[in-house]
Amino acid sequence: MNQTSKLKLLQHILILFFLLTSSVVRAQDFNQIKAELIAKTHTINIQQELVYTNKSLDTLNEIWLYDWNNAYVDKTTPLAKRFAEEFNKSIHLARPQQRGYTEIISLTDPNYGFLKWKRLDVQDIIKVQLNYPIYPGKSYRLKLSYKVKLPSAEFTGYGYNDFNDYRLRYWYIVPGIYDGKWLPYSNKNLNDLNQLVKEISIEMTLPASYDVISELDEVSSITSEDKKTLYLKGQNRGQINLNITKSHGFKTVRTNDIDLVTNLQSKDTLEVNQFLSAQRIFSFLEDRLGTYPHQKIMVSEQEYQRSPNYGINQLPSFLRPFPDSFQYDLKLLKIATQTYLDNTLFIDDRKEHWVKEGIQIYLMMAYIDEYYDNMKLLGKLSKIWGIRSYHFAQMDFNDQYPLLYMLTARNYTDQPLSTPRDSLIKFNERIANRYKSGVGLAYLNSYLGDHYIDRKVKEFYNKYAQKNCAASDFKSILMDDATKDINWYFDSYVGTEDKIDFKITNFHRTEDSVYVNIKNKRGTKAPITLFGMDRKDSILFKTWYSGIDDSKRVRVPRENLKRLVLNYDRVIPEINERDNWKSINGFLSTDRKLKFQFFKDFEDPYYNQIFYVPVFSFNIYDGITTGLRFYNKTFLAKPFIYDLKPSYAFGESALVGSGTFQYRDYVEHGNMYQIDYYLYGSSFHYAHGLRYSTITPSITFKFRNDDLRSNERELLNVRFVNVIRDESPTIDSDPDYSVLNARYAYGNNGIIDFRSWFVDLQVASEFSKLSFNWEMRKLFPNNRQLNLRFFAGKFIYNQTNSDFFSFALDRPTDYMFDYDYLGRSEDTGIFSQQLIISEGGFKSKLSTPYANDWIVTTNASINVWRWVELYGDIGMIKNKYQDAHFVYDSGIRLNLVTDYFELYFPIYSNNGWEIAQPQYDEKIRFIVTLSPKTLIGLFTRKWF
């Protein structure tokens, strides 16, 4: 017998052994996969046999299957729609060869009887009609044959990359989840499908140049000249992830009876320190949770990049203020803890994700407290002169968790922990909710004392490891022998977005006691701590109080007491800590001292903070303008904000500036979620030697629907604009005027479909006018983008003697000083070419640029290649005592960044062939946005 025949015989024996040992489990779920990777086409041919056990009390006549690889098939799947919601067009613009899909060849029952099946509209869920029912406790065996075309990894990180390596997740078909009904869980890039399978076996054939890295046990392998076949097995597993690579960079570290398989990157951390870090982390996890039941655990750099430690440690390596060993420790800790829990606790990660996320963050906080208790939020930067005085430099590393949760809580975009993962906005899904969950467990641990949560987390893990479990099981264990009532935690903290906020309203002193009134400002059922401090800010006492529905009067000892403080250790995630202090030293004492500070800081509840920073601006009349900005806005939102910018204009040698006072009232329930009261004032120059000043009070009502992921917003704004101007010889109108302006606006700011409109009414002594503006942008399946805009305006009455208040065809006069013109009064030169799309929205300068009666225009553009577009504008304008006039223009638009940086090149209009006329460069128009706040919105919109 030659060598080839021996190899084939050995292969047949191993396959027989493999199949026999894989078929031991009959009454339990198991999954048997035979797959072959075709690297040239990025496809996997799969023959699969799975057993589904009906664990419900219902008789099932159909089975749903999740085929999440097919979520990449086109632009209409829930995955593609979610990308679009987060302003990511990558799936929409993908080329056919980048997409993934699944082609089912056959689907049969154990007797090879063909089963009827169809895909639901979502494309990644298959509904299978069974030939016979599955009774409670019984099993059904399915046989499938299908081809998987893997997607490009540039979308979600899973699929094939530029080096033809493969990271596989959700690459094979699995049974759906039945919970009284089949749950329509689609792939939404949330990595939240992790069902328990009692036994899984994979026979993977692939080119010989590849290696397979996984957490499964490798039974055997056979390698021929150009192929290799691996036999992998595992018990009590969830979703199986495979790394198929030619040069993998993974290494195996033996630690605490666990083989750590990792390619986690750390250029500057010695291997011995990496080993010690692994030893320490897995000892910690085993101590806090329990024994890890599997031989191997995989921690990859790619998984970390998908879910990094958000915060200052994401700065470039040369700017990071933390030791390299700490950076590596934290990376390994996060992904190791996440994988440890994912591979052992099988819970509905879409509906009840907060359980494992809370345990993960709680353990990470405990690890920092145990091994890095002196680590500050800014690391070594906290010791540098000029930085160490800032509050954020004095904050502990673990303070980042309540801090980042408060980013959404303060803006009232937080969502209950019990919200399904696919209904969370991206910031809450990736950061805020998991941090809130971890902080909540720390809160409970402090409230109950005696390391209660530490013991209960370990009890939960040991009871349900390698089993299906639910949030109700976690709740039962936490409440089992709690020494205090903790129903408030599940009812309010987990089940709602209600905020926690207490204050000390007043106190009364006697000879030996102080009677203190504690008010629950929001009525949220949660306990609060009261601390007593002496003159050196040493703690005299700490007392927990619960059951405060409205207010409560408590008695504390007076001896050496100088200050009362609620939540002094800041364990409780209160939305407002600014009113937690009360000095009892007498009438002249202050609860919070005044603090002037350069640049913005995090909120320090012990001080009234006033920040100052230099400001610079420019327009061609004031020239370079510089001054100091005084404001109270911290990194976290607060209700009352002031912002004052006194400045000096070198171009006019005069004082200029602006200032705002704003009070934001949040409405916690209902579609009207916010009311803004606003007072704005400014004083600059609108032409050489001519000053204007404005004073504008306003009120804005903002509306949104119940789905925070929706980009739909509505608002009603009413303002009274008062303008005081130096008289201009070129403007024939009263230099001082007031305009009452009311506007109702709707917007749905999607990246695939954009819709917005508004109705605007202006009333002044000399005129009144009504206008309507509608815009639409549509990205079609063929990747063509159409932009349409319609504007109509009509004067109700007009007694003015100039066009200063008229509708503008291409360049509004901006008599209410709303726009950021670099040269608002210029008729020639580069600054006159600045374009702001408003009113008529034309790009060419025509002989009749204004309308003092009515105007109707339509603006359109469509792309011909990437950001190169053709545009065209048409309209009718009507001036008093004149016939209506038809206007049009057309040209090329370079849409580099929509609404932020665009160039317009006119070609043909009422002026004729503009491209052939002299001084063509003076006809080119541009849009440019220099506002940092507006530009930052480009990056934050996908998170909030």
Residue 278 near residue 255 (C-beta atoms within 8 A): yes
Q: Which residue has the higher pLDDT, 678 or 21?
A: 678
Q: CATH number of the domain that 171 lies in? A: 2.60.40.1730
The yes-or-no verdict on residue 687 having pLDDT over 70 is: yes
- Please say if the pLDDT value at position 1 is more than 60: no
How far the first Cα of the chain sits from its last, in Å, is 68
- Per-residue pLDDT of 521-558, as tens digits, reads 998 999 999 999 998 889 999 999 999 999 999 999 99
- Residue 231 included in any domain: yes
Helices 433-448 and 400-409, axial angle in degrees (round to 10): 120
Best-predicted range by mean pLDDT among 250-254, 588-592, 601-605?
A: 250-254
**Last residue in a domain, options 304, 339, 374:** 339
The pLDDT value recorded for residue 540 is: 94
**Alpha helices, DSSP H, located in 289-388:** 301-306, 324-342, 354-371
Enumerate residues 6+ apart whose C-beta is below 8 A from 552: 517, 518, 520, 545
Q: Where is the domain boundary, 456, 478, 494?
A: 494
Identify the pLDDT of residue 390: 87
Q: Are residues 275 and 398 in the same domain?
A: no
Do residue 238 and residue 130 come from a single domain?
yes
pLDDT band for position 13 (cuts 50, 70, 90): very low
- pLDDT per residue as tens digits for the range 323-367: 888 989 999 999 999 999 999 999 999 999 999 999 999 999 999
Contact present, 827 and 702 (Cβ < 8 Å): no
Q: Which residues contact 627 (CB under 8 A, 6 or more apart)?
A: 614, 615, 645, 646, 647, 648, 657
Whether 635 maps to a domain, the answer reads no
Share of the chain above pLDDT 70, in %: 94
Looking at the chain, the whole-number percentage of residues with pLDDT higher than 90 is 69
Distance CA 575, CA 414 (A): 11
CATH code, domain with 711: 2.40.160
The answer to whether residues 397 and 487 belong to one domain is: yes
The C-alpha angle 517, 521, 525, rounded to 5 degrees, equals 95
Query: For residue 830, is pLDDT > 60?
Result: yes
- Nearest-angstrom CA–CA distance, 812 and 88: 34
Give yes or no: residues 454 and 360 share one domain: yes
Is the domain of 524 the same as that of 470? Answer: no
Residue 675, helix vs strand vs coil: strand
Same domain, 217 and 359: no
Residue 603 lies in a domain: no
Please provide the size of the chain in residues.
Answer: 944
Query: Among 108-122, 260-274, 588-602, which range has the highest average pLDDT?
Result: 108-122
In a domain, 408, yes or no: yes
Q: Per-residue pLDDT tens for 431-446?
A: 999 999 999 999 999 9
Whether 601 is in a domain gets the answer: no
294 plus 239 within the same structural domain = no
Residues 820, 701 share a domain = yes
Does residue 11 register a pLDDT over 70?
no
In this structure, which amino acid lies at residue 13?
I
pLDDT at residue 590 above 60?
A: no
Beta-carbon count within 10 A of 110 CB: 12
CB contact at 8 A, 195 and 239: yes
Dig out the tokens for 727 from the structure.
Answer: 């008289």
pLDDT of residue 335: 95
Instruction: Give 260-281 pLDDT, tens digit per residue.
Output: 999 988 877 888 888 999 999 9
Domain range for 436 is 344-494
Query: Model confidence over 14-43: pLDDT tens digits?
Result: 444 444 443 333 335 789 999 999 999 999
Instruction: Dig out the tokens for 42 from the structure.
Output: 């990025």
> Is residue 832 in a domain?
yes
Is the separation of the CB atoms in 514 and 564 below 8 Å? yes
Tokens linked to 632? 């109270």
Domain boundary among 426, 460, 494: 494
Question: Does 150 have pLDDT greater than 90?
Answer: yes
What pLDDT, on a 0 to 100 scale, did the predictor assign at position 320?
74
Which tokens hold the place of 457?
Answer: 């987390």
At 670 the pLDDT is 80
- Per-residue pLDDT tens digits for 284-328: 999 999 999 999 999 999 899 888 888 766 666 667 788 888 989
Three-state SS at 132 = strand
Q: Establish if 918 belongs to a structural domain.
A: yes
CB 715 within 8 A of CB 744: yes
CA distance 440 to 493: 8
Strands 850-851 and 197-207, how do they pair? Answer: unpaired
CB half-sphere exposure, 115, CA atoms < 13 A:
29
Residue 839, token pair as written in the block: 């009113």
In a shared domain, residues 55 and 92: yes
**Confidence (pTM):** 0.90
Given the DSSP bridges, would you call strands 296-299 and 258-262 parallel, antiparallel or unpaired? parallel
What's the pLDDT at 678? 95
Are residues 526 and 542 in contact, defined by beta-carbon separation less than 8 angstroms? no
Q: How far apart are CA 603 and CA 395, in angstroms?
A: 11
Q: What is the DSSP string of 54-104?
A: --SSS-EEEEEEE-GGGGGSSSSSHHHHHHHHTT--TTTT--GGG--EEEE
Positive or negative, the Cα torsion across 899, 900, 904, 909? positive
For position 587, which CATH number holds? 2.60.40
Closest by CA position to 331, among listed 314, 349, 345: 314
CATH number, position 352: 1.10.390.10
pLDDT score at 824 = 79
In a domain, 237, yes or no: yes
Reported as a single tens digit per residue, the pLDDT across 171-205 is: 999 999 999 999 999 999 999 999 999 999 999 99
Same structural domain for residues 63 and 209?
A: yes
As for how many domains the chain has, the answer is 5
Whether 140 and 219 map to the same domain: the answer is yes
| The predicted structure's pLDDT at residue 855 | 97
Average pLDDT on 816-843 reads 87
User: What integer pLDDT is reported at residue 297 of this predicted model?
Assistant: 95
Task: Please indicate, yes or no, whether residues 388 and 474 belong to a single structural domain of this protein.
Answer: yes
